[in-house]
A and B are shown apart, each in its own frame.
Chain A
């Protein structure tokens, strides 16, 4: 008798859990699991969206890795962005976070001003920077010329387009500032006081107290920065489009990456292959590369103690 009620109770609890999880379970199946399997399937198919898909073996894979002219430039750009943009963003975010914890007058105003650019919609922010840096008419260009510094071509110059995007990314560093600020305020004050008594310099205090205390957050910022770089799409695309002067509308095809493939990123290749070249199979190959890279870094994030996932291992 007791065993029956126990089993019934357990069944009710399981049903209750399923009920609460049901929106996500459906979402997971329909918008994640099914399309992921389907992407794998299409990566072995030749499919243009009009004629039925035909098995093509590893042809799409061979095409993407050996003949598709945009793949390796996009991967190289991603590497550049990971090394330069992510690093600079973390260093700058930490610097601004440190600065805001030292500011004692008007802290709220400073914090809001530092944070605001992070909120600017990416398309709008990129258009604004395209104008600000625009040779000839942009205010930044004008100011640089007035003080006698030769202004580069920014978004119009293959060597300067990624630095220009980096500048835009540094402008929107507010998310990292907030995270670092919270971490810095959590460092126990006694440690600083003890160090000060021992006569430690400001640099020594930063190096031996601040950094070790916030290192999990630095790791978190680096890894999420890398994951965000895998998804980097709107800013480089818009920057390239605006700089190239392509007019959007029916019938216009913009080959992404202007100037000279320097702003190509992997997500843009999925769009280019799938929706401009109607080669859905090869688009799925790039999608899977993107998937593998994102998941590899996500796994790194989940294995870390502290940081993001720590809550997951509570019983």
Chain B
């Protein structure tokens, strides 16, 4: 039945009027569904389009009601990149997101593996605690954490209070990886052990190669998390503009150029672009990861 609906109608020899009516209905349905699809696509895409168009307008035009630039001011992007600090924020963001991602993946894998494949007392409890940590707003523990990092270790004004904890496993990554690892049949693990592999070797040689999609999803999520994080840098890095990240610095950009919407939008595009590019290269892993967090048990 659905296969019939897939095909747009073209008259066929030996068709009864009833068949033709059914095919016309199918065609109408195809048109209705795809018109809705185009309408929805406009809703999702137009904000990006207006953002790009405004980022290429002149200062004065960005303040008008115009939708399309009269002159295409590519120099706006040059101006943004030349803003003092902007490149430092890029560098800081890459360090935070890059280093944080590596640390998270390396520290979360063994934990996820143990939760997925070892049998031990308290495993259910451990998993429950992981999920509780995952659902905890970062603001709940921020006061003692800030006092710890700022007053005892004197590390405020840097991103280290955000990077170091990632070396101790991240709840969301552990959970997602564990979900993925449980889908790998125990037989592979057992076979490796029969061949004389220890747990660590089994993990590295047998399980990890099979878990690549899960690891890729976790790495992407973590990278995006750090890239997008506003609260963390606000707490620990706000006092030192040399340690700001893009997400945090972007807002000050609006402050410094309060009426230059064109420059602010160009900066906004530059903050969004890497995330979107990374997504296009790793789309499959990402969508798989989103599905994994919710649906698969």
Contact = CB atoms under 8 A, between A and B. Distances in A.
A83 interface: no
B38 to A, nearest CB: 9
A311 B254 CA distance: 46
B194 interface: no
Contacts of B261: 131, 134, 137
Contacts of B124: 312-313
Chain B, interface SS category: helix
B295 A42 contact: no
B80 to A, nearest CB: 13
B290 A23 contact: no
A39 B287 contact: no
Interface stretch (A1-9, A63-71, A156-164, A226-234): A226-234
B114 A36 contact: no
B83 interface: no
Interface string A117-132: 1011111110111011
A295 B294 contact: no
Interface string A176-202: 001100110010010001001000000
A117 B1 CA distance: 34
Nearest to B133: A32
Contact of B264 (A113, A131, A250): A131
Interface residues of B, number: 101
Interface string A97-132: 001101111000010111111011111110111011
A203 interface: no
B140 A311 contact: no
A36 B141 CA distance: 6
A270 interface: yes
A55 to B, nearest CB: 17
Contacts of A38: 141, 143-144
Chain A, interface SS category: helix
Contacts of A298: 131-132, 135
Nearest to B290: A178
Contacts of A96: 40
Nearest to A197: B1
Interface string A68-107: 0000000000000000000000000000100110111100
Interface of B: 1-2, 5-6, 30, 33-34, 36-37, 40-41, 43-45, 47-48, 50-51, 54, 62-65, 67, 107-108, 110-111, 113-115, 118-120, 124, 126-133, 135-148, 151, 165, 167-169, 174, 178-179, 182, 199, 224, 227-228, 230-231, 234-235, 239, 246-248, 250-252, 254-256, 258, 261, 264-265, 268, 271-272, 275-276, 279, 283, 287, 290-291, 294-295, 297
5 contacts: A17-B118, A24-B107, A123-B248, A247-B255, A267-B137
